[in-house]
């Protein structure tokens, strides 16, 4: 099984909740992609040619994987990361272009808290594919990497080119690539005429229309505790024609002298964040944006994170903070409480 690039965000386990009843049928398609699993639920009276639909889904996801998998030496992103010519154009596909443009927008909205060039720091802190977790790197090594960290070191041209302004800059789009894959499968299903479905890749979701009982899709968010079962539900939200993503740090960290060092790295400082946010769930119009905003909120913290969410149209969020006494506290955007089912 080929692995996709290390996912900076933790895809929090989700439970899909449905009621019983007789109505339209629900058909399930499953597969593997991006180093994880995917699931598609399609609702209809008589959905035919599911094998053909699965082939189309697998083919589309393979295109995206070939574009943005850092585990493939011949992928677009791997070739771009090896490209070290400052000021020269590097031709990219439309998939790569769209994800880079989404990254630019999330970087701008979050004042740099989300940054697709942070991966060298993630590796240095031991959270990459070959790192040794539990060791604090010297400040000098962190400082040496910072000049090549920053999404503004790359120009994204609408004509379909990337231009490096710093030879050493590299890109890892793992925090939004799964969300983009979800959106592209949703677009494929729409083009095939489906209107009621749910797409999930590694915990990132787009829910369209209604379930077979004509109710919104109900999604259970995993309880953000390291010792919680993967099916332990913390909250349930209702989705219809919306993207959804959750990021968390409660299962991917190490401690030294009683201090927790999370895998969530602030690209502006080079150090793990210590804002006690253990989980951030975001709902918005696309899964790509939900994916990236959830990652950004983990870096920004509860106050700045909520401020950003509340100023964005059509975006809602739930931020969970572990208090000093160990208890969990919820912080919800203005409209999120209306989405909570229990």
Tokens representing 76 are 């677009």
- pLDDT at position 342 over 90: no
Contact 252, 281 (CB under 8 A): no
**Whole-model pTM over 0.85:** yes
Residue 3, pLDDT > 60, answer no
Count of Cβ atoms closer than 10 Å to residue 335 Cβ: 14
Determine the pLDDT at residue 225. Answer: 87
Q: Is 222 within 8 Å of 256 (Cβ atoms)?
A: no
> Domain coordinates of the chain in residue numbers?
80-171
Of the pLDDT bands very low, low, confident and very high (cuts 50, 70, 90), residue 47 is: low
3-state secondary structure of 215: coil
> What pLDDT, on the 0 to 100 scale, is given for residue 46?
65
Q: Please report the pLDDT score of residue 9 as a whole number.
A: 30
Mean pLDDT of the chain: 90
Average pLDDT over residues 89-111: 98
Question: Do 277 and 319 touch, CB atoms closer than 8 A?
Answer: yes
DSSP tag of 310:
H
pLDDT of 12 above 60? no
Place of tokens 């909250």: 235
Burial degree of 255 (CB within 10 A; 0-12, 13-18, 19+): exposed
Give residue 289's pLDDT: 98
pLDDT tens, residue by residue, 284-323: 999 999 999 999 999 999 999 999 999 999 999 999 999 9
Q: 264-291: string of b/e by CB count within 10 Å (b at 16+)?
A: bbbbeebbbbebbbbbbbbbbebbbbbb
268 phi, psi to nearest 5 deg: -85, -20
Give Cα separations from 120 to 125, 151, 171 (angstroms).
9, 13, 9
- Residue 200's pLDDT band, with cuts at 50, 70 and 90, is very high
Residue 250's pLDDT is: 77
Arch. (CATH architecture) of 80-171: Orthogonal Bundle (1.10)
For the cut 90, the answer to whether the pLDDT of residue 169 exceeds it is yes
> How much is the average pLDDT of 84-100?
98
3-state secondary structure of 283: strand
């Amino acid at each position: 099984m080929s692995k996709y690039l290390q996912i900076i965000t933790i895809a929090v386990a989700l439970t899909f909740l449905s009621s019983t009843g007789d109505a339209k049928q629900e058909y399930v398609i499953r597969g593997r992609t991006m180093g994880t699993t995917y699931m598609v639920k399609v609702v209809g009276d008589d959905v035919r040619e599911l094998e053909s639909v699965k082939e189309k889904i697998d083919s589309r996801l393979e295109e995206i994987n070939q574009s943005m998998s850092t585990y493939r030496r011949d992928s677009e992103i791997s070739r771009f990361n090896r490209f070290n010519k400052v000021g020269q154009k590097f031709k990219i596909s439309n998939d790569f272009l769209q994800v880079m443009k989404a990254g630019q927008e999330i970087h701008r909205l979050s004042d740099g808290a989300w940054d697709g060039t942070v991966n060298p720091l993630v590796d240095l802190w031991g959270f990459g594919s070959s790192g040794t977790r539990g060791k604090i790197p010297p400040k000098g090594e962190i400082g040496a990497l910072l000049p090549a960290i920053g999404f503004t070191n790359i120009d994204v041209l609408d004509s379909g080119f990337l231009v490096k302004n710093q030879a050493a800059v590299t890109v890892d789009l793992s925090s939004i690539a799964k969300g983009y894959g979800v959106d592209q499968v949703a677009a494929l299903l729409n083009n095939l005429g489906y209107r009621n479905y749910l797409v999930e890749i590694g915990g990132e979701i787009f829910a369209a229309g209604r379930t077979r009982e004509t109710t919104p899709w109900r999604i259970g968010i995993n309880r953000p505790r390291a010792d919680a079962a993967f099916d332990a539900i913390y909250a349930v939200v209702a989705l219809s024609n919306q993207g959804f993503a959750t990021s968390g740090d409660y299962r991917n960290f190490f401690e030294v002298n009683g201090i927790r060092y999370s895998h969530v790295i602030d690209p502006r400082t080079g150090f793990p964040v210590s804002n006690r946010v253990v989980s951030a769930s975001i709902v918005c119009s696309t899964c790509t944006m939900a994916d990236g905003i959830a990652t950004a909120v983990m870096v920004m913290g509860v106050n700045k994170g909520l401020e950003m969410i509340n100023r964005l149209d059509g975006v809602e969020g739930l931020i969970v903070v572990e208090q000093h006494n160990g208890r969990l506290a919820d912080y919800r955007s203005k409209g999120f409480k209306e989405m909570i089912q229990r």
